[in-house]
Amino acid sequence: MNATFDFSGRSILVTGASSGIGRATVEALCASGASVVAAARNVNELARLAEQTGCEPLTLDVGDPAAIDAALAELPVFDGLVNCAGIALLERAVDTTADSFDRVLAVNTRGAVLVARHVARAMLAAKRAGSIVNVSSQAALVALDDHLSYSASKAALDAVTRALCIELGPHGIRVNSVNPTVTLTPMAVLAWSDPVKRDPALAAIPLRRFAEPAEVAAPIMFLLSDAASMISGVCLPIDGGYTAR
């Protein structure tokens, strides 16, 4: 997908950057002139991404509060943040354990909160306006089998988006979420390869297909850009019409 925005002179932090939506977002931002810090746990993939795009790699586990504090303490003030780091532990509701629930919330919700806190504090201190985009999910908007912990984490992330919107808006900082459907990362391609699982899901999407990572990265780019200068507090489905039903 061609870059359509000019982010020259802007610095953006992207978590979950080593694969999928996060990787596609880093690629699009770098192609649009942004200075990008790409954060993730996978050191090797970050190195490959840095070589390909020129981004600055940052090894970071957002599920570890101490690691967040240490990694972000020395970073410069950013103009934008994309909270894309996330995990999914899919299990039946009656099989959900305290450990699995806490692990998912720790990364998908608490991690995003703590990263946003660091970035927003620096932006406020520098009196810098900007944009934060949280990568949520259609699972925050509708009920899905085996998604209790994941859905709860993403619904909470949407609530975080609204809270940050209210508190940071007076300082010129916009905060939004994107809520994609199944997105065809390499892992998702394997996970949805079984027609028994795949075909009913596709039938529920009016466009009859899943999303590509670049199709999620493009709306993220829009929300980061000045083209979305009056948009804040929005949870934007990127789902081919799934949640319209």
**What is the set of active-site residues?**
150
Tokens 């746990």 correspond to what residue? 41
Q: Which residues does residue 91 pair with via DSSP β-bridges, in sequence order?
A: 147
- Tokens 């101490």 sit at which residue? 66
Nearest alpha-carbon partner for 238 in 159, 183, 165: 183
**Rounded distance, CA 29 to CA 208, Å?**
28
- β-strands 235-238, 173-180: how paired? parallel
d(CA 84, CA 44): 18
Q: Alpha-carbon Rg of the chain, whole angstroms?
A: 17
